[in-house]
Amino acid sequence: MFFFSKSKYCDFRQCPKIPWLKKYKPEEYAVDPQTQARFQAGNEVGDLAMGLFGDYVEVTAYKADGSLDLNRMKALTRQYLSEGKENICEASFDYQGLYCAVDILRKDGEGYDIYEVKSSTSPDHPVYITDTSYQKYILQKCGVKVNRVFVVTIDSSYVFNGVLDLHKLFRVTDVTPLVDEEIKRVEESLKEAQRVMASKEEPNIAVFEGCNDPYACAFFGYCTRSLPTPSVFDLYKLPYKKQLALYRQGVVTYEDFLRDGSMVNDMRRRQAEFALEDRGTYIDREGIRAFLGTLSFPLYFLDFETVQPVIPQYIGTRPYQQIPVQYSLHILEEDGRLEHREFLGRSEEDPRRALAERLAADIPADACVLAYNKTFECTRIRELAEAFPDLSAHLLHIRDNIRDLLDPFQSGYYYNRGMGGSFSIKSVLPAIYPDDPSLDYHNLEGVHNGGEAMELFPRLKDMPAEERERAERDLLKYCELDTYAMVKVYEELKRVS
């Protein structure tokens, strides 16, 4: 029997091959951490939004094995509809194998309104219209009169004052006219989906614009598996649409790319040439010397870790605001002495004040500070200065003295093939020190990247003491490596200059 859900329907509308591959070749699905984080944020926001209109009933039910009990959910929905409940969350329906759950189904006179909750800040994403059109179609087929359709998103201008105000946190947008236009396509699309899903034959669809729109497809590696490596799709900082345009013209390998020449610039030429032929390390000594000449000892290597809660946790903060919770600081003296300082906030309270005070104590106002991709650190420090006016002058001085260790790499003063066209420190460090296990993030325990740190910090407060101690140690070790990596990168620049 044909079974489809709204997420499969949205997948199908992005590309018919996605639900087919999920069904027949699930092992090829390579979901990235950002997508996973998006799902997680969506669940958290969805739970909170249930209370948007006051009292509600929720139909979510689970089987003994932990999976959703759809039959029970549909039965509960029928019961609540017959009882005339005002707000039904996760209201569940199916029509001939087409399933959907409505985030909030709200009684509106004789009919109902659909509210679809999203953790994003933009209400007009086309995929939301696809999603809600499918829901409205199913509900109508099930005999439910749907009056209006709304998308509930996050209002990024909301400032938390200590008591969460759902009506200010969420923005409700009426998308009924858009849904009424889109719904005309649902029946035809579902017929096509049924045909595609019944076939054992993989849909013959080559990569196209939709592989990256609305979301980066998790099957991209699978669909490009027959291409040589590297290919134009590995060209760093060449937008996907341009990669695709080259590919469609038969420009596939780096040789093709250099021969074609239409999108070659200095940076891409270097990436392609060094990948084709190992030319060792390109060094522009003058450029590196000029950069080093702007620095003065002692050097302060600074790196922040942040969290970015969708639902603001601390007074005065907004949804999705980057909250610095941790920093690492290496101080390098001219004679080579190296000192390390660090700060890690407590996740049960707003860590910003303590962090700002420690930062101001650790870094003199006129210090020469190095960050890697300094915009991030500069912006966080400016925000701290705005939040704590008494520390503002000192913090802003620190910010004004930050130099960017990314500059010599971005300016093309240093390049080798190991960097693969990328200048992020996670690419530059192993390219400079390929065989140093002490600089390998994979060898860290627990936390290996900023995403893992961001995910771990908010959970600290709920951990038993021993587990928390270990997690805090992992966070500190990770952040320490970030600034130690910067010291090592600086040393290499010094060495070659």
Site of interaction with ligand SF4 (CB under 6 A): 15, 17-18, 21, 205, 207, 210-211, 217, 219-220, 223
Of 13 and 374, CB closest to ligand SF4: 13
Closest approach of ligand SF4 to the CB of residue 223, in Å: 3
Of 20 and 490, CB closest to ligand SF4: 20
Closest approach of ligand SF4 to the CB of residue 32, in Å: 13
Of 25 and 470, CB closest to ligand SF4: 25
Of 110 and 209, CB closest to ligand SF4: 209
How far apart, in whole angstroms, are the C-alpha atoms of residue 260 and residue 460?
A: 53
Closest approach of ligand SF4 to the CB of residue 79, in Å: 40
The DSSP line for 440-462 is -GGGSSS--SHHHHHHHGGGGGG
Closest approach of ligand SF4 to the CB of residue 211, in Å: 3
* 67: number of Cβ within 10 Å: 8
- Please give the biggest Cα pair distance in the chain: 80
Closest approach of ligand SF4 to the CB of residue 277, in Å: 30
Count of H helices and E strands in the chain?
20, 13
**Sign of torsion over alpha carbons 402, 405, 409, 414:** positive
Of 244 and 476, CB closest to ligand SF4: 244
How far apart, in whole angstroms, are the C-alpha atoms of residue 496 and residue 289?
A: 9
Of 19 and 345, CB closest to ligand SF4: 19
Taking a C-beta distance cutoff of 8 angstroms, is the pair 73, 90 a contact?
Answer: yes
Bridge partners (DSSP) listed for residue 367: none
Of 16 and 408, CB closest to ligand SF4: 16
Closest approach of ligand SF4 to the CB of residue 122, in Å: 22
- Nearest Cα to Cα of residue 179 among 144, 139, 137: 137
Reduced to 3 states, what is the DSSP secondary structure of residue 324?
strand
Closest approach of ligand SF4 to the CB of residue 16, in Å: 8
**Token pair belonging to 237:** 């900082």
Residues with Cβ within 8 Å of residue 234, at least 6 apart in sequence: 420, 421
Of 210 and 298, CB closest to ligand SF4: 210
- Nearest Cα to Cα of residue 387 among 357, 363, 346, 349: 357
Closest approach of ligand SF4 to the CB of residue 244, in Å: 10
How far apart, in whole angstroms, are the C-alpha atoms of residue 474 and residue 489?
A: 22
Taking a C-beta distance cutoff of 8 angstroms, is the pair 396, 381 a contact?
Answer: yes
Closest approach of ligand SF4 to the CB of residue 201, in Å: 14
138 by Cβ neighbours in 10 Å (0-12 / 13-18 / 19+) ranks as: buried
Closest approach of ligand SF4 to the CB of residue 361, in Å: 51
Of 57 and 205, CB closest to ligand SF4: 205
The DSSP line for 61-114 is -B-TTSSB-HHHHHHHHHHHHHTT-SEEEEEEEEETTEEEEEEEEEEETTEEEE
Of 97 and 221, CB closest to ligand SF4: 221
Strand-pair category, 299-307 with 368-371: parallel
> Cis link prior to 298 (omega < 30° from 0)?
yes
